[in-house]
C-alpha cells in the first residue's frame, strides 16, 4: 500500500470519530435565545468553516466550543467530555488581535506568556520562541512591541502565541477580517500549511464565503434569530489548495454559488 493510500485510510478512520460535539446546545443570554438546538460534530483534524449573516451567532457558537460560555441546555463536548472551562489544548485566535496581545510585552514576551502558563522552563523558552516566530514568518521581530507591528504581523503574533500552547484544536473568529486582501491570502495559506502539518482541528468563523470554501473541509451556514444550522456543504476540493487554481475550480464556483444564494436568502 502506498504512503498516500495509508494516509487516506488514516484520514478516513479519523473521520468516523468526533472531537467536538454540540448536542442540542441552546444558549440564552439576557433573556434572548442566541443559539438554539445546535447539533454539530467536528471530526479530529477537520477544518470546519462557519459563515452567516452578522449577528447570527457565529462568535457565540465558537465561544461555546472554547468553554468561554456554557450552554443553557444541551451540551458541548470535547473528546466526549463536557466542556466546562477553556483548556490549554484548545487555542483561540481572536479577531481583535490589538486587544488580545499584551501591549507591554514584546513579541517574544507575548509568546512567552503561553510558555510560562504551560510551565516551560525559562532556559527552553528562548529557542521555542524563536522557532515559533520563524514558523509564522516573523523572524527577527522578537523585540518589537505589538504597537510597532502592522495588523498582519500582530495577527501572526497572536497565532504564534496560540501555537505555543501546542493546541490540538484552533478556534479562529474572523482572524483575518481586519486585514487587506493580500495579507489575508498570505495568512490563509500559512494557516493551512501550519494546521495540515500538525493535523490540527480548526473551527474557523468568517464573513468571507470564498475564504470559507478555500480553507474548509466543510462549511456550515448559520441562520439568525436564533442561531441554528441552515446549510452544510462538504468541500471536495483537492489539497493542497492554491489561491489561483482552487478559486477557479468548477466545484469551488458551484459551492460559492450555493453559499451566496443561502446567505442572500437569510438576509431578509
Partner 1 sequence: MNRTAILWRVASVLVAASFIAAWQLVADLRLVSPVFLPGPDRAWAALVRGFSSGDLAGKLIGTLEHMAYGWLAASIAGIALGALIGSSRTMRAYVAPSLEFLRPLPVSAIIPVAIAMLGLTQGMALFVIAFGAIWPIMLATVHGFAAVEPRLYEVARSLQMSRAAIIGKIALPSALPDILAGMRLSLTVALILSVVCEILAGLDGLGHWVLLSARAFRSADLFAGVILLGATGYVTSIAMSLVEQRLLAWQTAAR
Ligand X SMILES: Nc1ncnc2c1ncn2[C@@H]1O[C@H](COP(=O)(O)OP(=O)(O)OP(=O)(O)O)[C@@H](O)[C@H]1O
Alpha helices (runs of H) in the chain, residue ranges in sequence order: 3-16, 58-66, 97-100, 107-117, 122-135, 151-164, 181-198, 209-215, 245-248, 250-266
233 binds ligand X (CB under 6 A): no
Instruction: Give the one residue of 38, 48, 59, 221 binding Mg ion; rule: CB under 5 A.
Output: 59
Question: Taking the complex as a whole, how short is the minimal distance between the CB of residue 247 and ligand X, in angstroms?
Answer: 23
Residue with cell 441554528: 228
Instruction: Give the one residue of 1, 2, 4, 32 binding ligand X; rule: CB under 6 A.
Output: 32
Cα separations in angstroms, 177 against 59, 135, 211: 13, 22, 10
List the strands of the sheet with 201-205, edge to edge. 90-93, 169-173, 201-205, 47-52, 218-223, 228-234
- Site for ligand X, residues 57 to 116, rule: CB under 6 A: 57-60
DSSP letter (8 states) at residue 149: S
Piece of the chain touching Mg ion by CB under 5 A; list 10-18, 28-36, 52-60, 227-235:
52-60
Strands 32-42 and 20-29: antiparallel
Question: Taking the complex as a whole, how short is the minimal distance between the CB of residue 173 and Mg ion, in angstroms?
Answer: 6
The entry of Mg ion, partner 1, ligand X, none that residue 32 binds, CB within 5 to 8 Å by partner kind:
ligand X
Query: Quick one: 120 or 229, whose CB is closer to ligand X?
Result: 229
79 binds partner 1 (CB under 8 A): no
88 binds partner 1 (CB under 8 A): yes
As beta bridge partners, residue 172 has 93, 204
Instruction: Give the one residue of 34, 107, 212, 233 binding ligand X; rule: CB under 6 A.
Output: 34
Closest to 42 measured CA to CA, from 170, 157, 188, 129: 170
56 binds ligand X (CB under 6 A): yes
Strands 90-93 and 32-42: unpaired
With beta carbons less than 8 A apart as the criterion, state whether 226 and 58 touch.
Answer: no
Piece of the chain touching ligand X by CB under 6 A; list 53-61, 144-152, 213-221, 242-250:
53-61
Question: Taking the complex as a whole, how short is the minimal distance between the CB of residue 103 and partner 1, in angstroms?
Answer: 6
66 binds partner 1 (CB under 8 A): yes
221 binds ligand X (CB under 6 A): no
Query: Quick one: 178 or 229, whose CB is closer to partner 1?
Result: 178
Q: Give the integer Cα–Cα distance in Å for 102 and 114.
A: 12
The entry of ligand X, Mg ion, partner 1, none that residue 87 binds, CB within 5 to 8 Å by partner kind:
partner 1
The residue count for binding ligand X (CB under 6 A) is 12
114 binds partner 1 (CB under 8 A): yes
Query: Quick one: 59 or 169, whose CB is closer to Mg ion?
Result: 59
Number of H helices, E strands in the chain: 10, 10
**Which stretches of the chain bind ligand X, using CB under 6 A?**
29-30, 32, 34, 52, 54-60
Amino acid at each position: 500500500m502506498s504512503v498516500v493510500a495509508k494516509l487516506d485510510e488514516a484520514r478516513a478512520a479519523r473521520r468516523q470519530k468526533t472531537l467536538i460535539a454540540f448536542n442540542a446546545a441552546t444558549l440564552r443570554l439576557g433573556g434572548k435565545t442566541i443559539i438554539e438546538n445546535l447539533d454539530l460534530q467536528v471530526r479530529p483534524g477537520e477544518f470546519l468553516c462557519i459563515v452567516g449573516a452578522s449577528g447570527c451567532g457565529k462568535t457565540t457558537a465558537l465561544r461555546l466550543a472554547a468553554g468561554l460560555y456554557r450552554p443553557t441546555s444541551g451540551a458541548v463536548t470535547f473528546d466526549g467530555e463536557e466542556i466546562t472551562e477553556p483548556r490549554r489544548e484548545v487555542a483561540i485566535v481572536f479577531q481583535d488581535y490589538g486587544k488580545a496581545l499584551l501591549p507591554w510585552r514584546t513579541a517574544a514576551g507575548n509568546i512567552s506568556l503561553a510558555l510560562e502558563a504551560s510551565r516551560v522552563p525559562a532556559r527552553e523558552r528562548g529557542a521555542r520562541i524563536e522557532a515559533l516566530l520563524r514558523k509564522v514568518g516573523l523572524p527577527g521581530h522578537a523585540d518589537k512591541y505589538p504597537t510597532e507591528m502592522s495588523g498582519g504581523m500582530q495577527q501572526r503574533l497572536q497565532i504564534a502565541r496560540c501555537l505555543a500552547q501546542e493546541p490540538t484544536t484552533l478556534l479562529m473568529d474572523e482572524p483575518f477580517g481586519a486585514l487587506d486582501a493580500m495579507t489575508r491570502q498570505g495568512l490563509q495559506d500559512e494557516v493551512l500549511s501550519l494546521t495540515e502539518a500538525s493535523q490540527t482541528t480548526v473551527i474557523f468563523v468568517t464573513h468571507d464565503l470564498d475564504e470559507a470554501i478555500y480553507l474548509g473541509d466543510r462549511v456550515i451556514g448559520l441562520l439568525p434569530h436564533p442561531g441554528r444550522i441552515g446549510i452544510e456543504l462538504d468541500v471536495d476540493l483537492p489539497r493542497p489548495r492554491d489561491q489561483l487554481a482552487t478559486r477557479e475550480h468548477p466545484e469551488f464556483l458551484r459551492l460559492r454559488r450555493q453559499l451566496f444564494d443561502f446567505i442572500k436568502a437569510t438576509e431578509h
